[in-house]
Amino acid sequence: MVRTNLSDGEPIKSVAYPPWKAGMKKVVRVAMRDDDGNRVEGKYTNEKRTVQADQKSIYNHKHMSNQVKNNWGVLWQQADRCDLFRQKIKRQKNDAGVNVAYKKDKNKKDITTRTNRVLSGHTLKVLGSGAMAAANAQAYADSQTLRLSVTKEDTKYPLMPTLSVGASYAIEAAFTAYVQEIFSTAVAIKNNQKKHTKVTAKCCQAAAEIMNRKLSAATGFVPISVPFRKTIKKRSLKIGVGGQKNEVKAA
């Protein structure tokens, strides 16, 4: 089991992937054999075997990645309580000009803040549905190449992923950083050109193209450009009669 709160300030611990240690055992499923040593079909048993030292890095890597994944998940699940993702509620006034009392939570405390979201739930669902549709279309294209009899996404009932609170905040954080980088690049272009006092739409378009090229270069499987590696033949100068320099073509 994985603990899902960080109230005591300690990281969560999971026993799914323990770290390697000397003399540790692992359970292996092996086929049963009769008295003559022949394999019995359909019958298996579990045996404990010692984990060798050459598996140390693999076990430690699984333990590390599992711990990081679980702790990041719990951390983002608690992000709703962070002041960065909260904003104060404006007090409403009644007809007499008196502030209306705050609403109460289940502990009968005043609710003075609300979530400060960049993307709405509808927007996140649309983005997730579009991403899943693209993945489904690619998988369907691969299945047609392999001549498989499968069914692709139904347009009447599209794929609608469910996003947890932590996943929503993580997507918003990445989207916010993406937009901030675009605007920062647009401001740099505007300051370099010195023609406008404000960032124009064309500056933002150019900045977005620059940012998208950076993302493509960082996440793509091919480089953004291929260097020219052919050896360039240079011409040497030979001093002739009278001190004149004559060009001689390289062989």
Enumerate the domain spans of the chain.
1-77, 86-116, 117-162, 164-219
Mean pLDDT, to the nearest integer, of 145-172?
89
pLDDT-based confidence at residue 90 (cuts at 50, 70, 90): confident
pLDDT-based confidence at residue 140 (cuts at 50, 70, 90): very high
pLDDT-based confidence at residue 169 (cuts at 50, 70, 90): confident
Q: Does position 148 have pLDDT exceeding 90, yes or no? A: yes
pLDDT of residue 134: 93
Do 207 and 189 contact (CB within 8 A), yes or no? yes
Mean pLDDT score of the chain? 82
Q: Does position 166 have pLDDT exceeding 70, yes or no? A: yes
pLDDT-based confidence at residue 70 (cuts at 50, 70, 90): confident
159: Cα separation from own chain's centroid: 20
Buried b (16+ CB within 10 A) or exposed e, 60-87: eeebeebbeebbebbbbbebeeeeebee
Q: Does position 146 have pLDDT exceeding 50, yes or no? A: yes
Q: Does position 9 have pLDDT exceeding 50, yes or no? A: yes
Percent of the chain surpassing pLDDT 70: 84
Q: Does position 247 have pLDDT exceeding 60, yes or no? A: no
Do 74 and 8 contact (CB within 8 A), yes or no? no
Which two three-digit tokens encode residue 28? 């292996």
Residues 6+ apart with CB under 8 A from 58: none
Q: Does position 180 have pLDDT exceeding 90, yes or no? A: yes
pLDDT of residue 235: 66
Alpha-carbon gap, residue 241 to 83, rounded angstroms: 84
Mean pLDDT, to the nearest integer, of 4-27?
74
pLDDT of residue 61: 93
Q: Which residue has the higher pLDDT, 224 or 51?
A: 51
Mean pLDDT, to the nearest integer, of 109-114?
86
